[in-house]
Structure 1
């Protein structure tokens, strides 16, 4: 057994205790106080490892926690990335707090993705205690990932903080199979399409009106036709609003699009086509504005990402973890922000589990140990 795994086995109860501590804090994305409470717990742990901590204001959604461990001079840092917010409302912890039975852990955020933060911190702890860290390590923990960083500066903070990173390890969970790690993910954006028409009384003067709703209906058909599932592109008109009364021709109507794409080039083309549709109305004298509310870059499977995976796979087999499989998914990941900035990144290095965003969410307790050991061994060997 390698010395890192041996050390972490001795720390397993401490890993479980820290997991319980942060799981038992309600921290939905909109609850700045709850997210801050988790950040305070994580910050205290970081400081105990000799990390310097700071918090960057991301706007009304709170802050981003940064922890930095010094390393060799002029060496690029390893970037660990994760989030401390969940999708579950306040009060969920009281209804179903952290619980572990055998190898199964349950509780809100147990798979997505609080234990991943514990995994990252104890990997750092093993490297520090065993004096195996050479590179600086920077850990970026955000508080609004589940909201795709809407109305915040988190995207820009991640992009800024990861610049110059040697490589990245994202601590999201891996679904069910301990051999799975992520090398690609689709990106996403939310786009608001707002149609402006002309109000009129539908009985007395209908000829004076220009219906924003009818114009939007024409546009929705065209927008939906942009989807190409085989190419990994989907445009979902997920929300529509418009009108004030049945007898008033509406002068405003909106749709909010949930857009998924496989490459950032696809994203740019999609945005151009959405704007082109908006610029060519079917109903005369209507105008349309397009606003991209938020985005997460796609995590593209670049040559550098594949090379990083090959190195991780080699280390996994050397230390007895086993052979890894490179997988991807349809959900967006903050790892895409780093890959888009030329920081090769492996995703899904957190706990092994399933049931994200549901009452059935669960994770393997053993994977706290095995994944932390894998990460620490990789950083120690790769440098």
Structure 2
């Protein structure tokens, strides 16, 4: 196989093609709810990987974007996992309204950072490696189609772990940090829905007959928020609230959607018990409250083997002059959780660097596309 520095030259010689692929992946509506759009991304990725010699297949889902799995190499060799996701958080029409744009080295567009840039890095890193005769490990690629909604409408979580089990190490090309940090630990994510039923009434003629669902929910929101435990690493956020119909009616229904981030299983178990207790408590007579768990995304556990993998990776990065990194823990979830659940040492956030993912201000650093592609090739060549 060609040496690593020669591989870097391939990146420099193909900058335009890499940007074109990045643009292709961004300029298509593929929010988690747009199965057709996500599956379209999957077909583009499939075409690219099959030209590189990969065997590609999909786990297909009725109500979610399909999961792409691709494999290359000798089945008798140990394998590594390269992973990410193809969906974004943005609604239909966003790609046309805010298309892929480069200005002064900053790239904008829906999902340009989270995580079409990372998918582009993955594709070109394996292409250049295989063209150079790479055969160190068998390579398995797993790209989810519904990561942004925590696989709530599919069996992707279970399918992911079945595909990844047995890997010797994993690399997730998720959103890169502007300070070049590498993620080795992530909090788990859960979402709950509290629904309150009261008794409706006319606010002028017979308000005494009403039982306000909004009033009941207002009390409970304070109780829900109070379950945050900073020391434990568990945070609670009542993020979306609705209730009532018109101002001159006592509201009969109200609801709140709650986000929970947790560092440990024990913290999640505490929240579950507390939320059920809050739901049963009654402030306004004749009201009832139901608490439903919508999704649960497990934490990416900090493994000792991940710490050691980072140390080895940092030594390789230093050898080739890449910017110094540090290993960090973050609150946002990712499919790296499924890798560490299988005991696989994993480095996450190896994608393009940038800020403000999940917002209209999302941007990525153009140059980091090329730098991070070189870094991934160096890691796969020498680890």
Distance 1:170 1:27 in 2: 20
Distance 1:20 1:249 in 2: 48
14-23 or 238-247, which deviates more: 238-247
Shift of 1:57: 1.9
Question: Does structure 1 conserve the Cα–Cα contact (< 8 Å) formed by 2:188 and 2:261?
Answer: yes
Question: Does structure 2 conserve the Cα–Cα contact (< 8 Å) formed by 1:186 and 1:329?
Answer: yes
Question: Does structure 1 conserve the Cα–Cα contact (< 8 Å) formed by 2:73 and 2:135?
Answer: no
Aligned to 1:260: 261
Q: Secondary structure at the match of 1:271?
A: helix
Aligned to 1:18: 21
Alignment of 1:235-274 (within 5 A): 235-243=236-244, 250=252, 252-274=253-275
Aligned to 1:50: 53
Distance 1:142 1:242 in 2: 35
Distance 1:51 1:74 in 2: 16
Q: Secondary structure at the match of 1:165?
A: coil
Distance 1:295 1:91 in 2: 29
**Alignment equivalent of 1:89, drawn from 91, 104, 115:** 91
Question: Does structure 1 conserve the Cα–Cα contact (< 8 Å) formed by 2:199 and 2:250?
Answer: no
Question: Does structure 1 conserve the Cα–Cα contact (< 8 Å) formed by 2:10 and 2:128?
Answer: yes
Query: What do residues 35-89 of structure 1 show as CA deviations (whole Å, max 9, x unaligned)?
Result: 12211111101101111111112331221111112335052x2111212222333
TM-score under structure 1 length normalisation: 0.88
1:37 aligns with 2:67: no
Q: Secondary structure at the match of 2:112?
A: coil
Aligned to 2:366: 365
Shift of 1:201: 8.1
**Pair 1:243–1:110, CA change in 2 (3 A):** closer
Distance 1:243 1:310 in 2: 55
Query: What do residues 256-284 of structure 1 show as CA deviations (whole Å, max 9, x unaligned)?
Result: 21111223332222112212332444556
Alignment of 1:195-274 (within 5 A): 195-196=196-197, 212-243=213-244, 250=252, 252-274=253-275
Alignment of 1:298-313 (within 5 A): 298-313=299-314
**Alignment equivalent of 2:148, drawn from 146, 149, 152:** 146
Q: Secondary structure at the match of 2:370?
A: helix
Two-structure CA RMSD over aligned residues (Å): 2.7
Question: Does structure 2 conserve the Cα–Cα contact (< 8 Å) formed by 1:71 and 1:134?
Answer: no
TM-score under structure 2 length normalisation: 0.88
**Pair 1:253–1:372, CA change in 2 (3 A):** same
**Pair 1:33–1:249, CA change in 2 (3 A):** closer
Question: Does structure 2 conserve the Cα–Cα contact (< 8 Å) formed by 1:193 and 1:289?
Answer: yes
Q: Secondary structure at the match of 2:114?
A: coil
Deviation beyond 6 Å, 4+ runs, structure 1:
198-205
Question: Does structure 2 conserve the Cα–Cα contact (< 8 Å) formed by 1:19 and 1:115?
Answer: yes
Q: Secondary structure at the match of 1:323?
A: coil
Question: Does structure 1 conserve the Cα–Cα contact (< 8 Å) formed by 2:65 and 2:144?
Answer: no
**Pair 1:289–1:89, CA change in 2 (3 A):** closer
Shift of 1:170: 1.0
**Pair 1:167–1:46, CA change in 2 (3 A):** same
Question: Does structure 2 conserve the Cα–Cα contact (< 8 Å) formed by 1:148 and 1:296?
Answer: yes
Question: Does structure 2 conserve the Cα–Cα contact (< 8 Å) formed by 1:71 and 1:137?
Answer: no
Question: Does structure 2 conserve the Cα–Cα contact (< 8 Å) formed by 1:111 and 1:351?
Answer: yes
Distance 1:360 1:192 in 2: 28
Query: What do residues 288-342 of structure 1 show as CA deviations (whole Å, max 9, x unaligned)?
Result: 4322111222223221221121121121112222432112323222222322332
Question: Does structure 2 conserve the Cα–Cα contact (< 8 Å) formed by 1:201 and 1:249?
Answer: no
Query: What do residues 157-177 of structure 1 show as CA deviations (whole Å, max 9, x unaligned)?
Result: 323322222221111121323
Matched residue count: 378
Question: Does structure 1 conserve the Cα–Cα contact (< 8 Å) formed by 2:106 and 2:364?
Answer: yes
Question: Does structure 1 conserve the Cα–Cα contact (< 8 Å) formed by 2:200 and 2:249?
Answer: no
**Alignment equivalent of 2:64, drawn from 52, 56, 61:** 61
Distance 2:17 2:146 in 1: 27
Structure 2, gaps ≥5 residues long: none
Structure 1, gaps ≥5 residues long: none
